[in-house]
Amino acid sequence: MAAAKKAANDIRKGLVGVVADTTAISKVVPEKRMLTYRGYAVHELAEKCSFEEVAYLLLMGELPTKSQLASFRKKERAAREITRPHVEVIKRFPKNAHPMDTIRTAVSYLGTTEVAWGGEPAKKDLERAINLFAKIPTMIATDFRFRQGKSRIKPKADLSFSENFFHMCFGKVPPKEVVRAFDISLTCYAEHSFNASTFADRVIASTRSDIYSAVTGAIGALKGPLHGGANEAVMEMLADIGKPAKAEKWLRKRLANKQLVMGFGHRVYRWGDSRVPIMRQCLEDLSAWAGDDTWIEISDILENIMVGEKGIHPNLDFPSGPAYYLMGFPINLYTPIFVASRITGWAAHYLEQNANNMLIRPLSAYSGPAERKVR
């Protein structure tokens, strides 16, 4: 009885404040509004590096030299294409399925094409990680084309990771500043310590299961609107508001009804999300490029009230939702784009968990009926 009482007192619902393990991949310093990948500030990486360099850093632990980057790029570009049966599987997905459900299933399909158990040599898993990194955009774009009744566009090896994604979705590559904003968004989304999907990935890795299973589970966790799904919810909210003149009334009604305002708040960053300023700059550049200030004007009204009156700051999804909208992506593709980026962090965590593994298995305090007889 005393042990049960103690267990109930020890509960950390939502694992709030629990440090579950060490990681050398990223560090969140909320009081400094700072996020680092392998020691480098993310805003500096976003300004000075391509997403391919950031992916290399997360997977290998160091920024690449020129020749390391060239060979990493060559490997990624050579692995982009998916097999004909894989294309056929994607073609058969129901056209009204959410693209997060189709990318989850398409990644899981890749896991059926080889027998992988997990706990294997890191070199083998690293190859699988690069394969997933290269193929996920192709799976997303293939599904995107088919659901519109269009034929697929094959990946092109002479384009960068970001250029190629635009090419596979739309058949053309937009101006440099648009590609750069997309690339920066991928860097911002790539990694964020023990967030829900990464923790799900590590839990699966800790059972000595394979990387495909871990990434499939992580995609399922990312889909939720309290996690990755928020960038879609933000744009739906902005579109629902429609005009700057309606924003304040809309927000006040929502707050009075004690409803959440999407794109605000964060479990870890109580004083603001370190990734917001650089993504906000991208949103401003995209708004100027598109000649459309609507979303930035609505955003400013919401932010002023949320920060000024509630002390709740915007998170990365707040500027990235409208940024993806201005880039021309449909709303239901925003979280799959997050997958195309976060695969780098998930893969790095999968490898890290495997390198020093212990099964993740917490306890629970039982709250059901007392012990009883069947008859």
Nearest to ligand COA of 261, 279 (CB atom): 261
Residue 98, interface with ligand COA (CB under 6 A)?
no
Closest separation in Å from C-beta 183 to ligand COA:
20
Nearest to ligand COA of 180, 227 (CB atom): 227
- Encoded one letter per residue, x for contact with ligand COA by CB under 6 A and - for no contact, window 160-189 reads ------------------------------
For 26, the 3-state DSSP assignment is: strand
DSSP state of 314: B
Closest separation in Å from C-beta 254 to ligand COA:
8
For 282, half-sphere exposure in the C-beta direction (CA atoms, 13 angstrom radius) is 33
**Which residue is catalytic, options 192, 266, 313, 349?**
266
For the chain, the C-alpha Rg in angstroms (whole number) is 21
Is 240 annotated in the active site?
no
Alpha-carbon distance 37 to 318, whole Å? 22
Residue 33, interface with ligand COA (CB under 6 A)?
no
DSSP state of 333: G
Residue 197, interface with ligand COA (CB under 6 A)?
no
Report the amino acid identity of residue 295.
Answer: W
Interacting span for ligand COA (CB under 6 A) from 146-154, 163-171, 182-190, 261-269: 261-269
Closest separation in Å from C-beta 299 to ligand COA:
13
- Encoded one letter per residue, x for contact with ligand COA by CB under 6 A and - for no contact, window 47-76 reads ------------------------------
Interacting span for ligand COA (CB under 6 A) from 111-119, 136-144, 254-262, 284-292: 254-262
Residue bearing tokens 């002479």? 158
Q: Are the C-beta atoms of 173 and 167 separated by less than 8 Å?
A: yes
- Encoded one letter per residue, x for contact with ligand COA by CB under 6 A and - for no contact, window 280-319 reads --------------------------------x--x-x--
Residue 267, interface with ligand COA (CB under 6 A)?
yes
Residue 350, interface with ligand COA (CB under 6 A)?
no
Helices (H), 120-160: 122-147
Q: Judged by CB under 6 A, which of 34, 41, 69, 260 binds ligand COA?
A: 260
Residue bearing tokens 């990318």? 103
Is 317 annotated in the active site?
yes
For 36, the 3-state DSSP assignment is: strand
Give Cα separations from 256 to 99, 237, 253, 259, 265 (angstroms): 33, 16, 5, 8, 17
DSSP states along 74-128: HHHHHT----HHHHHHHHTS-TTS-HHHHHHHHHHHHTTSS---SS--HHHHHHH
Q: Judged by CB under 6 A, which of 54, 59, 261, 296 binds ligand COA?
A: 261
For 35, the 3-state DSSP assignment is: strand
Nearest to ligand COA of 317, 352 (CB atom): 317
**Which residue is catalytic, options 125, 210, 273, 317?**
317
Interacting span for ligand COA (CB under 6 A) from 58-66, 202-210, 255-263, 331-339: 255-263
Residue 251, interface with ligand COA (CB under 6 A)?
no
Interacting span for ligand COA (CB under 6 A) from 24-32, 156-164, 257-265, 360-368: 257-265
Closest separation in Å from C-beta 196 to ligand COA:
9
For 40, the 3-state DSSP assignment is: strand
Nearest to ligand COA of 106, 312 (CB atom): 312
Give Cα separations from 147 to 105, 213, 237 (angstroms): 15, 25, 24
Give Cα separations from 248 to 161, 264, 299, 322, 330 (angstroms): 39, 15, 10, 18, 26
Please give the positions annotated as active site: 266, 317
Q: Interface with ligand COA by CB under 6 A: which residues?
A: 226, 230, 260-267, 312, 315, 317
